[in-house]
Structure 1
């Protein structure tokens, strides 16, 4: 079938025949569908925690190897016939469409990770609807208060921390800075003094109690335990859920507490997770009104398997240093597995399928690869290899000059000047109709590097408006609106640069076509 298609393309659309576009597009689409399926398999979640499917690393290695082999075979077939070397007549913008086909083929072969990631996330997302996921995550999150939730920070004891003077007034950080800087003899010494001040002020002491509803509770009371955070639940809602739990406790609303525990245990049983708790025993060992400090600590992992404790979320939560970590009771529940699996489902609902930064990375990588292939196509293998050597020599020389002057910012200035100089050199030869041989190397380097001009200029402008920490007073807030705006819009710049690069290639393709008509000598 492919042979018949290729014959028809040779007669009617020789450019598509030459690039082997139709068979390569077919292979590329199959490649993408295959990795979508592999990603979907990798997205399987075993809520019991017994089976862990993780084939991503193997799939990526196989994908890279397969893509490289397919690319090499395609290039061998593609470079067999070169209409430019045979002086085959070409339309005005045929070179641009040839590059576009090269780019498309490379994109389909190089971006197999994207459908893999989309397939994996879709499968993880399909287990429960957003509404059901949010409901279950709320139950698991709030139940952590009665299992092994982390403790919240208490307020700073200003008097004990030395942040209040003898008259009862707060010591202001800037006032201390004024004294420290006035005693310094240089900007560098002032900065060192400020660092000492910061260290001293950070040595604070926290209160050993919290206040809730105008009543004092111990810092290790259940009222100071945090709920676990899931991405489907906002931080504001987490705070409200915590307040709701505390209200149930202080108002002795045993019905709601037992309902929460019942819903949680139902999820545990649904996923066949291990626990030696039942509702009555759980409520008995945790509910200790009115102070809520007399309770047993429940192990958030399977007790029989001590290895699980190192994977438990318990060891990722922060606790006060003087709170005994080892006084767990005989009771346990696989809360770590439950949080891990539902955290995955939660993230699948809230994460975007493809981050713009990841997509831009692939686009620029494919753009670079396609330009390497395209430049080899329109020039020659000899000039292409010489251009690679020249690029290496240029980088070596600029690196040495930068090292000699010990100015890191000097490197991008040199590279920018070199790129612009090479582009000007190529067009001087083009407009003067000089020998074609003199400009092949320049064209190769220009095609590889012209996309860097805008990012380099953008970076240099950012550095130009960067606040000078040694000129300004250390304790003053340093602001540079231009610098901050440029840093916040780097993604937009890279998007605009990519679009502009394609437009430039469209215009330059006509120039390259005419350039091929210049005499060899």
Structure 2
């Protein structure tokens, strides 16, 4: 092995001295082995399905100590590399070199640092590979379907089974169910359960163009307070916004077998998969100040009330309704058994069996909810006792029917959420952090190899002083313009910083012969690291001008259009553009570096 390393080094030294000097081959080989190790770690991290029950498992790299292990390994690897590399500095010792070799050194530093600091990516891809291979989409989609069907009988929350949740059959999705006692007209048909009441209304509408919400044709109806009472929700389609209001009471008692909580009313979906392609048009029923002309009606109640219904609610209620209407006891039992098999697979905490569960929920006469299941193990200090004081009749109804059975549904929800989040994750998106980190440290090492430690320290001090000056100037300007527009101060600071950056970049290019070598070195060092920020500042200034010009447009507040600036149009791709622009700048700047090195000291 030692003989192989020696021969390889001799071969590189004779033919590719830059690669030999930077130890590129051996560093990449070491990094590759470590990347494979981190991939294996990531692959087996979630082999215990119980770990999927915690939220945000895809970030486990930062929670189980892997991030610290990665940092330690990266630090040791890079320190060892620098020790070996600093044994030979061709540029410092005036060995023959050219611009291409200088640039090759920088690229080598960049590649090595990137390879030695991106173990996170390998770990995350190991995690993603395990999840994708262990839990294929077909299996997960089937499990989610079974879970959503069985969720009907989990009966943990009384509010999921009350009458106001009913969305099927057809009459129920055509009317609005008022369930707040303050707004119930008790002189008209309504239904009651304990102290809760329900009343159904037809809806009337008012349409208004979205870009002309206060035109004269609509104004009269807005000013008519009697017509605008009972606002329910608004819906926008294309350029028209439609406002829905409660109109007249309808009697649905012939459709409702009982106002007592029933499985027929259940319309909630346990988990919505990311693979679900339903175009869900969600409507939010809202009493609030969002609709200013209706707010006074409810202001006395200090009441902001929201509830949402959608196509998904209607379809889920329809599926539940059809299952109950079939009234097939064996089908229901098989559904419960399949669900408990899924629960066992993911080690969900519960104490249910299919037979016991079926006895709790199977009441074919109207399928009333006669038993409730806890969402966690019964506490030793149970505050849901039927004899508890200061509770409503509805709460007493729930407490009287609350069993000691439990099922941890939040853990199962986390399992599905984690599996889909990990599958949908793109670890490569974090590459921007690593490539800029690598660029920064590669630039520091490159500067140290070229100009030495003294010039590097002076450059750091200079950047600190300039930053302090710009910050103090900005604070002064904002203090002077206090109470007025800040745009002028922002533009001044931006252009002042731009002029300062232009001067720093130009000195090593045009004035290196007429200024002290140390000053040129400082400007050279700042230019190497800061060129990408210089370009970013230019883009920012252009975008500010575009944004202000857009907002000054007379049609801006009429059409509510977005100001698509240069910054926003390119988005995150600016990171790539600035990164490669900085590398290209360094490629051409190597000639300036050689010119600086040829200057006499002093």
Pick the TM interval, shorter chain.
0.7 to 0.9
Q: Return 228-237 or 10-19, whichever deviates more.
A: 228-237
Query: Could you tell me how far apart the structure 2 residues matched to 1:17 and 1:211 are?
Result: 88
- The CA deviation string for residues 294-324 of structure 1, in whole angstroms up to 9 with x for no partner, is 34222233447999xxxxxxxxxxxxxx878
* Equivalent position to 1:416, from 498, 511, 514: 498
User: Counterpart of 2:573?
Assistant: 492
User: Counterpart of 2:101?
Assistant: 94
User: Counterpart of 1:19?
Assistant: 22
Return the offset for 1:417: 2.7
Return the offset for 1:218: 6.1
Aligned with 1:329: secondary structure?
A: strand
5 Å-filtered alignment, 1:124-135, equals: 124-135=131-142
Aligned with 1:301: secondary structure?
A: coil
Return the offset for 1:32: 1.8
User: Counterpart of 2:425?
Assistant: 352
Aligned with 1:443: secondary structure?
A: helix
Query: Could you tell me how far apart the structure 1 residues matched to 2:337 and 2:588 are?
Result: 69
Q: Which structure 2 residue ranges, 5 or more long, are not aligned?
A: 166-175, 185-203, 220-230, 234-243, 281-311, 383-393, 479-485
User: Counterpart of 2:374?
Assistant: 299
User: Counterpart of 2:37?
Assistant: 34
* Equivalent position to 1:43, from 46, 59, 63: 46
Aligned with 2:572: secondary structure?
A: helix
Return the offset for 1:115: 0.9
Aligned with 2:49: secondary structure?
A: coil
Query: Could you tell me how far apart the structure 1 residues matched to 2:347 and 2:504 are?
Result: 68
User: Counterpart of 1:482?
Assistant: 564
Q: Contact 1:95–1:513 at 8 Å: present in 2 too?
A: no
* Equivalent position to 2:456, from 381, 384, 389: 384
Task: Give yes or no for the alignment of 1:60 onto 2:60.
Answer: no
Return the offset for 1:272: 5.6
* TM-score normalised over the length of structure 2: 0.67
Aligned with 1:347: secondary structure?
A: helix
* Equivalent position to 2:115, from 108, 112, 134: 108
The structure-2 alpha-carbon separation of the partners of 1:300 and 1:486, relative to structure 1 and needing over 3 Å to count, comes to same
User: Counterpart of 1:196?
Assistant: none
Return the offset for 1:112: 1.5
Query: Could you tell me how far apart the structure 2 residues matched to 1:270 and 1:68 are?
Result: 40
User: Counterpart of 1:338?
Assistant: 412
User: Counterpart of 2:511?
Assistant: 429
Q: Contact 2:349–2:407 at 8 Å: present in 1 too?
A: yes
Q: Alpha carbon RMSD of aligned pairs, Å?
A: 4.5
5 Å-filtered alignment, 1:90-239, equals: 90-147=97-154, 148=156, 151=160, 160=183, 221-222=262-263, 223-234=265-276, 236=278, 239=312
Query: Could you tell me how far apart the structure 1 residues matched to 2:54 and 2:576 are?
Result: 41
Return the offset for 1:129: 1.7
Q: Which structure 1 residue ranges, 5 or more long, are not aligned?
A: 162-167, 183-199, 308-321
Aligned residues: 478
Query: Could you tell me how far apart the structure 2 residues matched to 1:481 and 1:4 are?
Result: 62
Return the offset for 1:232: 4.3
Query: Could you tell me how far apart the structure 2 residues matched to 1:82 and 1:424 are?
Result: 28
Q: Return 380-389 or 138-147, whichever deviates more.
A: 138-147
Aligned with 1:90: secondary structure?
A: coil
Return the offset for 1:224: 3.7
Query: Could you tell me how far apart the structure 2 residues matched to 1:210 and 1:102 are?
Result: 76
- The CA deviation string for residues 369-394 of structure 1, in whole angstroms up to 9 with x for no partner, is 21111122221211110000000011
More strand by share: 2
Return the offset for 1:260: 2.3
User: Counterpart of 2:591?
Assistant: 510
Query: Could you tell me how far apart the structure 1 residues matched to 2:559 and 2:397 are?
Result: 41
* Equivalent position to 1:10, from 10, 13, 20: 13
Q: Contact 2:266–2:317 at 8 Å: present in 1 too?
A: no
User: Counterpart of 2:322?
Assistant: 247
* TM-score normalised over the length of structure 1: 0.77
